[in-house]
Structure 1
Amino acid sequence: MTDATGPGSHPVPHLADTSPESWREANRRLLGKILSEFAFEQLVKPLDAGDGRYRVDLESGVSYTFAATHGALGSWRVDADSVTRGATGLLGNDTQTPAWDAQTFLTDALTTIGTDAATLAMYLTEVSATLAVDAARIEHGGATAAELRELDHAELECHMTGHPTLAANKGRIGFSATDVRAYAPEAQQRFPLQWIAVHRGLAEFRGTSDLSEAAVLERELGAETVAAFRARIADAGCDPDAYVWMPVHPWQWDHAVQVLFAGEIAQRRIIPLGDSPDEYLPQQSVRTMTNMTERDRYDVKLPLKIVNTLIWRGIPPHCTQGAPVTTQWLTGLLDNDPVLRDELRTVLLGEVASVTVRHPYLDRVPGVPYQHLETLGCIWRTSVSARKDEGERVRTFASLLHVDERGTAFAAELARASGLPAEEWLSRLFETVLTPVLHVLYTYGITFNPHGQNTLIGYDENDVPRRLFLKDFVDDVSVSHTPVPERGPEPDGYDHVLPRKHPVVIRQHVVDQLLIGHFRYLAPLVAEQLGVAEETFWKLARKAVTAYHERFPEKAERFAEFDMLADEFPRYPFNTDRLVITRYVDRALRHALRPNGTVPNPLV
């Protein structure tokens, strides 16, 4: 492995190299986030204590008091510096002391939030792992927002801080501390992938109509490596053409494949071939790799048998099987839309090829937990570098929420660098993000899951937003169950890959990922650092929606069906799902989130 390059580049240090002050600061920030998100989800219900302060009384006899403000969509913003704790004792809990320890709060709140000791023990494992990474980042300072502006999208990914809503956003249960320093994005370490050959009795290759298996191997490995791998299979006494070749994450090869598929390796049904000639950097999802040696080669999505941000991070076989046909259908449909193709120039980063490998024994057993069935497979996706224009800068939507250790928001840095007035830059941002997403929603009844990692923004040379890049089709695209003629013939054999959902649920993908999951956090950053009031922020966002409505009045029925201007939206509680609903129970299928209440729509 070699170090990545870029400002602030460093491996994640050992905890012994992190100061107590950095640990406390990481805790202080996380405690403020936990109180904010738990109050938003109504896991705790703060009482008004006057003068802008609120108090949370816990069943344990402990109370927490803090200053907070309210924002759009029912959000809470707790001032992390203001949090104090009072505990029942000889003097009662009227005497409050400064509070900074996130794990102490969680143990205090155990019965109040309705979880149990076993769940809390696992959750604290995720929280502690998150804190360790955050403390290391604080200790080393990291790159400034100005330095980050110069980075390419792959290097920039290594500097992000994780999911804005989930408190334990870097839990990665299964990774050791050494694994984090080797394979987590913040470690900024490049590494090769392990390639294996899997007998065709176990493995199946699929690709889009213009991609053969041989073409993918030639593109990803080059002729010299292909020849060397063929010789390795022949040396094992086997026919190279009897096998499907695929990459495996080196951690997965060591911790899962050699264990769960030991018999197949022993019987030469799986043959290790060696390392890839190229080195890769992990994206924020950890399991998706960007090729750093040959930037136009595919991104590779690989399963990891770890728990992170609510689920086991494998890849379901129906997703590997359905990826190419889903990409073929979507790109064929949307690339022929003149608005998307010619005017908006929206880029679809398709999942163009895949390998599916099912476990030879467990796949036949009903009810086996999904973590054991998603351990081997891969998906190749078109890379950003292969599709961006000369001079175009592409960054994830999530990067706009990043704040450097000097307190500068990356969004503010980009807006100032553009030379545009802040409101005009924001209007460009809203048009760039919302217009193509709404066009696909209203025209075709299709929604992506446009969260911060699946959505990327292309900027011009002045850092003005100009077009949208979308990815992750097979796992995150849904279609309305109502008939939509514009969709044409659908890949009906893959209903489980393209689930049919009620229009309200389809709309909620946009609401959750754009409004609640992103703009809810961006609005206060913009108000603080660019001087654009939150009310103005939401008016500009609304204008992007209504401008589309005014341009396409013939779609009025669709506007009503997928009503983005409804008075309120359902609230889906991510942290509650982990602590109270899903917990850490081993399930046969991934658990679907359920709403708990509603939030007012700031676009109204």
Structure 2
Amino acid sequence: MPSDHPVPALPDVTPAAWREANRRLLAKALGEWCFEDMLHAVETGDGGYRVDLSSGTTYAFDATPGAFGWLQVDPRSITHTATGMLGNEVAEPAWDALQFLLEAASTLGSDPSTIATYFTELSATLAVDAARMTHGGDTVARIRSLGHTELECHMTGHNLLVANKGRIGFSATDVRRYAPESAQPVRLQWLAVHRGLAEFRGTSELSERDVLARELDEETRARFTSVLDGAGADPDGYVWTPVHPWQWDNAVQILHAADVAQRRIIPLGDSTDAYLPGQSIRTMANVSVPERYDVKLPLKILNTLVWRGIPPHCTMGAPVVTQWLRGLLDADPFLSDECRTVFLGEVASVTVRHPYLSKLDDAPYQHLETLGCIWRESVSARKDPDEHVRTFASLLHVDSVGDSFVAELVRASGLDPQDWLRRLFDTLLVPLLHVLYRYGITFNPHGQNTLIGYDENHIPVRLYLKDFVDDVCVSFTDVPERGPEPDGHDHVLPRKHPSIIRQHVMDQVFVGHFRYLAPLCAAQLGFPEKSFWQLVRETVLDFHQRFPELTARFAEYDLLTPEIPRYGLNRDRIVVTRYTDRALRHALYPNGTHPNPLAAG
């Protein structure tokens, strides 16, 4: 697609940056794969550990034990030992993460096809990390002033996953054009899709015309209408939808070639507005008119465990789930008035089912989720004028000189670290606990789905939540407070056992973020890890004391249990699921347990 912004040249990556990126990813792989019980670390004394591989090599390293049984590996301490040509063991400093993957393959219990494909994901991740290191980047002091959308372009990906920027399907040029770290504005392509293929849905207050009037100025709507008139098509016979330019070029024109040829899909032209991608890549924020909706669009790329399409049941169900949650939660005075929690609604959608492949039983889902969109309320449309809104994940960001974003915000606030953290825990956890205990509902509150609103002094004040449909789960137990639920002919709310509902909070907040945030606060704020976890526990207990009428629910969704199930995302990719082309996204299954730092004692 012609662009107003030329693709930047391939960045020069220095050998030193490549080695450093590898060294850090090797340390992460050792820590995470031992954490998920894919590898076994043997303690050697004085903070030392070793991992013996069935390939005959040993990796030794220093590590600091952390919460949930995690080892925080020192990247500079890693050594590699192998038997030399003369039969003697030769130890040398280790830095090559790709070589480590190949040497660990048989120990991990995977197959050559999986290892080769995962190698691609790992190499792609390293390429981005090394380029970032080569060119430095803004300090945490500088990014503190950025808005939500611009800040997203400085983040470095999912914490739990080792290969967190795999993006299989993107070329190197695609990464430089469309990945968030490239920060290249994108103009979306718009299509008219015949109503025999497409269906619009919106919340009760939003019509199809309302959405188009909000998203497209009058001149652009007239331009698009003239395209349809010129094609001899009835404008009212088509649903208009944006499509990512990469998707249009690489998926839609190929899989929907019959529809394009027969004028069931008609390209209308580019958007006037420019957009920037968030960390999920497929969700685009409008930077020309920030108050307009964010747009979630399918991309036929494999990234962080799944193909990044949008299932038709999600586009169909998004507005009704939003309508239901708003009616339920906005009417709760504790959430709406005291906590001032913001639910960024998925207010409208377009669903396009493939006219042929949708009739094929067990067709792989990557081919069925290629076209459609979800419009979501933007942060800019909901925040206060002096409010700073940042993803929860941004607190874990560390700049090129080693300074953490969380320490920068604490310093800027003027508060003592303990006071600031208590404000953070109250802001983040109390609304999540209330929704969990009161309604038996959980979100998928990982670092990109949960956002923190800060006042002008960078003190946490309220929580923003997004990504509802398919990520909102309800307990299958009877919860009168939920009232009538929106399931009708289509099942749009996954129902799960209370222990699984609880696990969403445990895994995404405590295991997925606090596990990393605690040592950062210890190292850069002087706030001990033990005190960190005690403060989290006190936040939970204070909530229990305030709402004694929910005592039975505290036991049902027990966050203070001594052990929690272990769900390994890296293990799922490399050992369990691998790269099988499945008809459906799969559920994770537990593999052992973790000790819970929130338990008493």
Same fold (TM over 0.5): yes
Runs of 4+ in 1 over 3 A off after TM superposition: 10-13, 90-94
Candidates 309, 331, 334, aligned match of 1:314: 309
Match in the other structure for 1:45: 40
Match in the other structure for 2:169: 174
Whether the 8 Å CA contact 2:84–2:90 is kept in 1: the answer is: no
CA distance in 1 between counterparts of 2:70 and 2:474 reads 29
CA distance in 1 between counterparts of 2:552 and 2:578 reads 40
Identity of aligned residues (%): 68
Per-residue CA deviations over 1:443-493 (Å, capped at 9, x if unaligned) read 000000000000000000000000000000002100000010000100122
Match in the other structure for 1:26: 21
- Compute the displacement of 1:495 (Å): 6.1
Per-residue CA deviations over 1:53-110 (Å, capped at 9, x if unaligned) read 1111111111111111110111111111011111123354633100100000000011
Match in the other structure for 2:207: 212
Match in the other structure for 1:455: 450
Letter in 2 for 1:14: L
Whether the 8 Å CA contact 2:7–2:173 is kept in 1: the answer is: no
CA distance in 2 between counterparts of 1:193 and 1:2 reads 12
Candidates 564, 573, 576, aligned match of 1:569: 564
SS at match of 2:451: strand
Letter in 1 for 2:352: V
Match in the other structure for 1:552: 547
- CA gap of 1:2–1:187, structure 2 versus 1, over 3 A, is farther
Whether the 8 Å CA contact 2:486–2:492 is kept in 1: the answer is: no
Give 1:122-201 correspondences, 5 Å limit: 122-201=117-196
CA distance in 1 between counterparts of 2:87 and 2:478 reads 63
CA distance in 2 between counterparts of 1:398 and 1:260 reads 36
SS at match of 1:591: coil
- CA gap of 1:2–1:542, structure 2 versus 1, over 3 A, is farther
Whether the 8 Å CA contact 1:11–1:186 is kept in 2: the answer is: no
CA distance in 2 between counterparts of 1:497 and 1:570 reads 26
CA distance in 1 between counterparts of 2:234 and 2:487 reads 36
Per-residue CA deviations over 1:557-576 (Å, capped at 9, x if unaligned) read 01010001111111100100
Candidates 487, 494, 501, aligned match of 1:506: 501
SS at match of 1:493: coil
Whether the 8 Å CA contact 1:64–1:86 is kept in 2: the answer is: yes
Whether the 8 Å CA contact 1:412–1:529 is kept in 2: the answer is: yes
CA distance in 1 between counterparts of 2:323 and 2:122 reads 40
Candidates 240, 243, 247, aligned match of 2:242: 247
CA distance in 1 between counterparts of 2:552 and 2:45 reads 47
Structure 1: state its 5+ residue gaps: 4-9
CA distance in 1 between counterparts of 2:511 and 2:425 reads 15
Per-residue CA deviations over 1:164-184 (Å, capped at 9, x if unaligned) read 110000000000000000000
Whether the 8 Å CA contact 1:11–1:188 is kept in 2: the answer is: no
Whether the 8 Å CA contact 1:208–1:328 is kept in 2: the answer is: yes
Match in the other structure for 1:6: none
Whether the 8 Å CA contact 1:400–1:522 is kept in 2: the answer is: yes
Match in the other structure for 1:592: 587
- Compute the displacement of 1:497 (Å): 2.3
SS at match of 2:89: coil
- CA gap of 1:11–1:401, structure 2 versus 1, over 3 A, is farther
Match in the other structure for 1:272: 267
CA distance in 2 between counterparts of 1:12 and 1:273 reads 27
CA distance in 2 between counterparts of 1:420 and 1:91 reads 61
- CA gap of 1:115–1:13, structure 2 versus 1, over 3 A, is farther
Give 1:324-343 correspondences, 5 Å limit: 324-343=319-338
Candidates 295, 301, 323, aligned match of 1:300: 295
CA distance in 2 between counterparts of 1:517 and 1:54 reads 23
CA distance in 2 between counterparts of 1:603 and 1:110 reads 35
Match in the other structure for 2:430: 435
Candidates 241, 244, 252, aligned match of 1:257: 252
CA distance in 2 between counterparts of 1:491 and 1:180 reads 39
So what's the TM-score if we normalise by structure 1? 0.98
Per-residue CA deviations over 1:12-56 (Å, capped at 9, x if unaligned) read 7525x1111111110000000000001101111011222211111
Structure 2: state its 5+ residue gaps: none
SS at match of 1:24: helix
Letter in 2 for 1:378: C
Per-residue CA deviations over 1:417-457 (Å, capped at 9, x if unaligned) read 00000000000000000000000000000000000000000
SS at match of 1:87: strand
CA distance in 1 between counterparts of 2:528 and 2:8 reads 37
Residues matched between the structures, number: 597
Single out whichever of 490-499 and 470-479 deviates more from structure 2.
490-499
Whether the 8 Å CA contact 1:331–1:348 is kept in 2: the answer is: yes
SS at match of 1:198: strand
Match in the other structure for 2:75: 80
Whether the 8 Å CA contact 1:11–1:187 is kept in 2: the answer is: no
Whether the 8 Å CA contact 1:322–1:494 is kept in 2: the answer is: no
Candidates 458, 466, 475, aligned match of 1:471: 466
Per-residue CA deviations over 1:512-531 (Å, capped at 9, x if unaligned) read 00000000000000000000
Candidates 2, 14, 18, aligned match of 2:10: 14
So what's the TM-score if we normalise by structure 2? 0.98
CA distance in 1 between counterparts of 2:52 and 2:371 reads 47
- CA gap of 1:127–1:13, structure 2 versus 1, over 3 A, is farther
CA distance in 1 between counterparts of 2:416 and 2:43 reads 38
- Compute the displacement of 1:304 (Å): 0.1
Candidates 100, 108, 127, aligned match of 1:105: 100
Whether the 8 Å CA contact 1:86–1:93 is kept in 2: the answer is: no
Matched, 1:580 2:575: yes
Matched, 1:491 2:486: yes
Candidates 50, 54, 57, aligned match of 2:49: 54
Candidates 402, 412, 418, aligned match of 1:417: 412
CA distance in 2 between counterparts of 1:193 and 1:233 reads 18
CA root-mean-square deviation: 1.1
CA distance in 1 between counterparts of 2:483 and 2:8 reads 50
